[in-house]
Structure 1
Amino acid sequence: MSFSRLVLRYTAFAVLATLVNLATQRGILAFGTGPALFAAALIAGTGTGLVTKYWLDKHWIFFDRDRGLAAHSRQFTLYTVMGLATTAIFWGLETAFWLAWQSDAMREAGGVLGLAIGYVVKYNLDRRFVFTGARHVPAHAG
């Protein structure tokens, strides 16, 4: 796969996972407002986005063929660990935008910005540490 096709596919999957994340958050925040619901929305949205992105990355970005519970458990654990730092970027920007503007639109803008930055970092971590036996497109390919 060419580098440009990889970028297009990875971007499309990041957008899809972002939409899953934000839709989950909206579903929870439809029940009301407040710090507890906000935290629940962040956690649930992150979880649904994570599972969606893992499956898409494994099969359509890294073409990883590892199968079975042991392989999936190891990879999903590493994938999740690699996502902790990128989640901090996402949560930090989303929370900062919410605190600064107190608006759902700006909260989501912060979330989208945080996720975009996080996904660039995440791809490089996953390529290096999670999907080590998978086929890769070199970072410098054109």
Structure 2
Amino acid sequence: MIASKYIIFAIFSTIINLFFQYISFAIYSGFLSLYIAMFLGTFAGLLSKYILDKRYIFYHKPKNKKDDGKKFVLYSLMGVCTTFIFWGFEMGFYIVFKYENAKYFGAVLGLSIGYMIKYFLDKKFVFKD
């Protein structure tokens, strides 16, 4: 049951991420646009995934806003390595295949790998109580 929910939430957060990237590219396509889009998408996906994981995967109820803030920071730090995996795949696909939409395929693959790793990191280090 948890695995099914986690996969659904990962797919949802991936869609949110890619949607924000798509919107970013629609608004701005100049210098560093790929990096700006990746950052905006990553933040939107991170925020949605944190809320869903906290409530429906790990059933964490923060004691207060400070506790919630600390969990979010720790959750974000656990995502740094997995974000590099995701960004690496996205940029790698874009560079290797030289096809505009290749970056999205790389992003989906990188996010999938990253989310699998992130679950275990979050379980062990973030939501351990």
Q: What TM-score results when the alignment is normalised by the length of structure 1?
A: 0.87
Equivalent position of 1:118 in the other structure: 114
The separation in 2 between residues aligned to 1:34 and 1:99, in whole angstroms, is 17
Matched positions, count? 129
Give the alignment of 1:47-62 within 5 angstroms: 47-62=43-58
Equivalent position of 1:22 in the other structure: 18
Equivalent position of 1:66 in the other structure: 62
Equivalent position of 2:97 in the other structure: 101
- Higher RCO (C-alpha 8 Å, min separation 6): 1
The separation in 2 between residues aligned to 1:31 and 1:87, in whole angstroms, is 23
- C-alpha deviation, 1:32, in angstroms: 4.4
The separation in 2 between residues aligned to 1:13 and 1:35, in whole angstroms, is 32
The separation in 1 between residues aligned to 2:31 and 2:99, in whole angstroms, is 14
Q: Of 27, 31, 36, which residue of structure 2 is paired with 1:40? A: 36
Q: Name the aligned partner's letter for residue 26 of structure 1.
A: Y
Tell me the alpha carbon deviations over residues 2-57 of structure 1, each in whole angstroms, 9 at most, x when there is no partner: xxx11110000000000000000000111343441111100000000000000000
Can you give the 5+ residue segments of structure 1 that lack an aligned partner in the other structure? 134-142
Equivalent position of 1:139 in the other structure: none
4+ residue runs over 6 A deviation: none
Equivalent position of 1:127 in the other structure: 123
Can you give the 5+ residue segments of structure 2 that lack an aligned partner in the other structure? none
Q: What TM-score results when the alignment is normalised by the length of structure 2?
A: 0.96
Q: Name the aligned partner's letter for residue 60 of structure 2.
A: D
Equivalent position of 1:31 in the other structure: 27
**Structure with larger Rg:** 1
- CA RMSD in angstroms comes to 1.1
Give the alignment of 1:1-20 within 5 angstroms: 5-20=1-16
Q: Name the aligned partner's letter for residue 12 of structure 2.
A: L
Tell me the alpha carbon deviations over residues 47-75 of structure 1, each in whole angstroms, 9 at most, x when there is no partner: 00000000000000000112311111110
% identity of equivalent residues: 38
